[in-house]
Amino acid sequence: MKPTWSKNFTRREFLVKTSAASAFAFTIASNRIWGANERLRFAGIGVGGKGSSDIDNASTMGDVVALCDCDDNSINEKLKKWPNAKKFHDFREMFDKMSNEFDAVTVSTPDHTHAIAASYAITHKKHVYVQKPLTHDVWEARHLRTLARKYKVATQMGNQGSASNGLRRGVEAIQAGVIGKVTEMHVWTNRPVWPQSPTIKARPTEVMPIPANVHWNDFIGTAPMRPYHKAYQPFNWRGWWDYGTGALGDMACHTMNLGYRALNLTTPTLIEAQSEALNPETYPGWASVIYHFPAVGSRGAVKLFWYEGKLANGQKNLPPKELFHGQEPPGSGSLLVGAKGVMYSPNDYGSQWMLLPEKDFENWKDPAPTLPRNGRDDLGQKEEWVAAIKGGPKAYSNFDFAADMTESILLGNLAIRAGGRIEWDSEKLKVKGNKDAQAFVKRTYQNGFKIPS
C-alpha cells in the first residue's frame, strides 16, 4: 500500500501556517516580541558533522554571529561563510563574552556535552535547538525540560523525521484506529556503524600527539580526562560509554518516533535488556531491550521491543519474521502491531509506511488531518523552532516531548549496564531497589564543569 503524500510548503508558507492556531494550539511565552521579518542572531555550538547542516539551516532565517567547536577545521570552514562570526572553543567563554549578542543557539556536540551546553543557553534566556538524543544521561533530560519551562524559551530536539508529512499521517492513522488497539512496537537499527565491541573492548594503548586543529580539553568537557586518540574524535565517540549513547541514543529518537508519538507514550515502568557481555569502555556488539509502558487513559499497556547489532551467530538482530508478512526487512525500521494489522515502516524516520497484510487494507483511506503539515524535514524543524521563537506554536519536538522520549530511550542503556532488568519510578527519577543502577541516572561532571540550575 503506497501512502499519498501531501504538498511541501515553501518556507514562507510554512512559517505563516505554523504561526496560526492549529493542533499545536499553545504558544511560547517569549522573552520578547519578535517582528515577523526581524532577523534572529544565532550561535552554533558544534559546527562540524551534523552541526554543519544545523547551523546552515538556522542561518537561512537569521545571522550567524558566533561559532564554537573543539576542532579549528570545522570552525574555519564555517568562517568562509560567516567571516564576521566570533570564534570560540569553550562555550562557557562564548556565553561570558557575548551572550547579549545572540538570541538562539544550536547544540550539535557529542552527546556528553549536550545538556551542559543547552543549560548554559537556557539560563542565558536563549532559545535552543539540540541534536538528538537530547542528553547523555536520564537526569539531564528532566533537567533541560525543567529549565526550558522556567525560562520560557522555545526549544526543539533534532529528530528531523518529526517534520515529515508521512510520519504525521502515520500518527493520525494509528490514533484513528486503523490497525486497532496496539499492544506492541518493534524497532530495529543498522547501528552500530562505528567501531565498538566486539571489535574494541578497551582503550587504545598507542600514544598519539594531539592534532594542531583539535582542542582536546574542550572535546573531553564533562567526561573524565584521557589521552587523545583518533578512536574518539571526530566521529567514533558514539561507541564509547563516556561520550556517546550507542545505537539507542543515535537512532531511537528517529526509528521509535512514529510509534512513540502515535501511542502517546511517556516513560516506562519496567525495562528488560539482554546483550553481549559488557566491557567498561564501549557499548556491546548487540543488545535487545523490552520497555513496558503502562496503560494510560484509553490506551492499554504497550511493550516496545528494541533490536541492535549482530548476534553471536553473525545474524542481524531483528524482530520475529512473521511480523513482516512476507516483507524483507531493511537495515532499520519499525512495526506497530495492532488487533487488526500491522503498520510497517521500512524507514529510519517513519516517513514512509504501509499497512499489513496488504489485502486487508486495500480500500483504506487517510482520516481527516489533525496535525499541521510540514514536509520540509531537517530545514522544516528549524523553521518550526523559529516560528515558535516568534510567538507561534511550540515546535513538534519541543523539550516537553523530547525529555520524556529521551528518558525512555536512555533507560534502555541504563538497563543494559545494570545487568538486564530495572523497575523505574519516573516521578522520583529512581531505579527501585538498585543503588548500583541509580549511579547511571546522573553522572558526576569532571574538569570543573557544573551544570546551571
- In angstroms, what CA-CA distances link 133 with 247, 287, 356, 408? 11, 18, 30, 11
Q: Does domain 11-162+378-398 have CATH number 3.40.50.300?
A: no
- Mean pLDDT for the chain overall: 93
CB neighbour class for 399 (10 Å; exposed up to 12, middle 13-18, buried from 19): buried
Does the structure show a pLDDT above 90 at 14?
no
Q: Tell me: pLDDT of 6 over 60.
A: no
Interatomic CA distance for residues 297 and 259, integer angstroms: 17
Mean pLDDT of the 398-412 span: 98
pLDDT value of residue 26? 38
pLDDT exceeds cutoff 50 at 23: no
pLDDT band at 36 (very low <50, low <70, confident <90, very high): low
**Percentage of the chain exceeding pLDDT 70:** 92
Beta bridge mates, 421 = 272
Judge whether residue 253 has pLDDT over 50: yes
- State the pLDDT confidence band at 34, using cuts at 50, 70 and 90: confident
Digit-coded pLDDT (tens) for 319-351: 999 999 999 999 999 999 999 999 999 999 999
Indicate whether 429 pLDDT > 70. yes
- Residue-wise burial string across 101-113, b where 16 or more C-beta atoms lie within 10 A, e elsewhere: ebbbbbbbbbbbb
pLDDT for position 303: 98
> Is the CA virtual torsion 427, 432, 435, 437 positive or negative?
negative
pLDDT at 386: 97
Q: For residue 245, what is its C-alpha cell?
A: 549513547
What tens digit of pLDDT does each residue of 195-252 get? 999 999 999 999 899 999 999 999 999 999 999 999 999 989 999 999 999 999 999 9
Q: How much is the pLDDT for 407?
A: 98
Q: How confident is the model at residue 18 (pLDDT cuts 50, 70, 90)?
A: very low
Q: What is the pTM of this model?
A: 0.93
CATH 3.30.360.10 fits 165-197+242-371+404-437, yes or no: yes
- pLDDT for the residue 164: 97
What are the residue boundaries of the structural domains of the chain, listed by start?
Answer: 11-162+378-398, 165-197+242-371+404-437
Q: What is the mean pLDDT of residues 273-278?
A: 97
More confident residue, 12 or 396: 396
Which residues lie closer than 8 Å to 205 by C-beta, 6 or more apart?
none
